[in-house]
Amino acid sequence: MKKFEYVKPSTLEEMADILQQYGDGAKILNGGTDLLVRMRDNLIKPEVVVDIKGISEMKKLELTEEGLLIGAAVTMNEVICSNVVLEKYRILAEAAHEVGSYQLRNRATIAGNVCNASPSGDTIAPLYVLSAKVKIYSKDGIRVAPIEDFIRGVRKIDLKPAEIVMGILLPKIEGKNGGSYYKHARRKDVDLATVGAAAFCNEGRWKIAYAAVAPTILRGHKAEAILNDLKEINEDTLVPAMDAAASEISPISDVRAGREYRLDMIRISLKRSVLAALLQYQ
Amino acid sequence: MKHDISFTINGEQVHLEVEPNKTLLKMLREDLNLTGAKEGCGAGECGSCTVIVDGKAVNSCMMLAVEANGKDIITVEGLAKNGVLDPLQETFIKNAALQCGYCTPGMLMSAKALLMRNPNPSEDDIKEAIGGNLCRCTGYKMKIDAIKEAAGQIN
């Protein structure tokens, strides 16, 4: 790794000043599981690395009237073990559990997964179906951006210079609900999704999101429309929704799979995530 | 610019000066001569660099050395106490859970971290704990048996 300066501010204000001063020359260090890989390969060569973990409010995991705030520095394993996540937003715990390995999950964060904005980010698809928002600090104030607006493309997020992601907000869910994330991958651990499907049902209304089949996570509006009209959901009645899933994605062929395989697998992933969501529905 | 850091390693207090662009793995191997942790991939994918930081198994190639400041670190060299092997080390040998030995320090530390947080793990718990540790020699079964046996001994 090329030489750089390391700083660990203790307030958001301090951090914003540093980011302002260095501009593109500064990179935020959180879990480091994406940053260090890219720095080691010299894909990124920052002048200064700013460690966010010295700011105590980044570790907040807090349920309020509005919903759940997952602070930027809360690790994947902390999310997976959280009683409130397991009880109210189980799909996110499921998805976080699919990320990397146990060791990586002790360092990696949901916020980091979002800011990395990979097309196959496992925790991102559930965040779409949960209507998550990103809480952002700047010296001008705090703003909240819906996740689907925040992520603009491959590794592209709507974060202005000297803005800092404080955490992810999950809105309160009223009524009966259930969700599940199905990750189809070559290996059980330490693998990116070949395809993924997140399914969430709230009072009979479905939200579907696909991973690894487009430049960003994709909402499955066609599949949702079909699911919302179904009187009964089973392997047979799901077929039109499965076909819809394949028709509304634009996968590529890459080292993990061919395009045709992804088109086939999204059908199965949609089915499995919907059926699993129903098992959670209460 | 070098940073002064202080931390505990295998029960001993250490003070070092490190450059920010050094990983925890490199610091352990080069500055502290603790060569148990290995650089299998350097990208957080193989687990052969696994150590325990503040009770949690982490890939030391994915941490900066400066982040060790104030932490309590255990490496494979810290498992045996006064020449007495850790139960995990005993059962690994007894169950032929290692061949070339390259994955083994990392594997032991993932297993140690597991038993520290969950003294009575199920087979699924064990597979979850070592899922991030690759082994090319053994096929993993003996490692799972060894970890089960060590857990049984401790209880």
How confident is the model over B102-119, as a mean pLDDT? Answer: 98
* CATH T-level topology, domain B87-154: DNA polymerase; domain 1 (1.10.150)
How confident is the model over B61-68, as a mean pLDDT? Answer: 98
Domain residue spans of chain B: 3-78, 87-154
Say how far apart CA A278 and CA A233 lie, in whole Å. 9
Using a CB–CB cut-off of 8 Å, the residues of B that contact A are 1, 3, 19-21, 23, 42-45, 47, 50, 56-59, 61-64, 66-67, 110, 128-133
Tell me the per-residue pLDDT of B2-13, one tens digit each, with 9 for 90 and over. Answer: 999 999 999 999
Chain B residues touching A74 at Cβ < 8 A = none
Instruction: Give the phi and the psi of residue A133 in degrees, each rounded to 5.
Output: -125, 155
Q: Are residues A167 and A65 in the same domain?
A: yes
Q: Are residues A130 and A203 in the same domain?
A: no
> Which of residues B71 and B153 earns the better pLDDT score?
B71
Range of the domain at A273: 178-280
Number of domains composing chain A: 3
Is the confidence metric ipTM above 0.95 for this complex? yes
Among the partner-chain residues A3, A4, A101, the one whose CB lies closest to the CB of B132 is A101
pLDDT the model gives residue A66: 84
The bridge status of strand A26-29 relative to strand A48-51 is parallel
How confident is the model over B102-115, as a mean pLDDT? Answer: 98
- Of the candidates A91, A115, A128, the residue with the CA atom closest to the CA atom of residue A211: A128
Query: Which residue on chain B is closest to A30 by alpha carbon?
Result: B63
Are A269 and A184 in contact by the 8 Å Cβ rule? The answer is yes
Q: Are residues A42 and A108 in the same domain?
A: no
Residue pointed to by tokens 């709230």: A202
Q: Are residues A47 and A64 in the same domain?
A: no
How confident is the model over B56-60, as a mean pLDDT? Answer: 98
Among A102, A105, A116, A189, the strongest candidate for a mutation testing the B interface, having the largest count of B CBs within 10 A, is: A102
Among the partner-chain residues B19, B20, B44, the one whose CB lies closest to the CB of A37 is B44
Q: Are residues A257 and A226 in the same domain?
A: yes
CB atoms within 10 A of CB B114: 22
pLDDT the model gives residue B153: 85
Q: What CATH number did the domain enclosing A43 receive?
A: 3.30.43.10
- What interhelical angle do A259-280 and A90-97 show, nearest 10? 140
pTM for the full model? 0.96
pLDDT the model gives residue B155: 67
pLDDT the model gives residue B29: 98
* CATH T-level topology, domain B3-78: Ubiquitin-like (UB roll) (3.10.20)
Say how far apart CA A7 and CA A51 lie, in whole Å. 6
Q: Is A33 on the interface with B (CB under 8 A)?
A: yes
How confident is the model over B121-126, as a mean pLDDT? Answer: 97
pLDDT > 90 in chain B, percent: 98
Are A166 and A57 in contact by the 8 Å Cβ rule? The answer is yes
Among the partner-chain residues A51, A104, A189, the one whose CB lies closest to the CB of B59 is A104
Chain A residues touching B131 at Cβ < 8 A = 101-102, 188-190
Instruction: State whether the Cα torsion B57-A112-A187-A130 is positive or negative.
Output: positive
Q: How far is CA A165 from CA A112, A113, A276, in A?
A: 9, 12, 32
Residues 186-245 of A with CB under 8 A from B: 188-190
pLDDT the model gives residue A74: 98
pLDDT the model gives residue B154: 77
Mean pLDDT of each 10-residue bin along chain A, 282 residues long:
97 98 97 97 97 97 94 98 97 98 98 98 98 98 98 97 97 97 96 97 98 97 98 97 97 96 98 97 93
Say how far apart CA B93 and CA B146 lie, in whole Å. 8
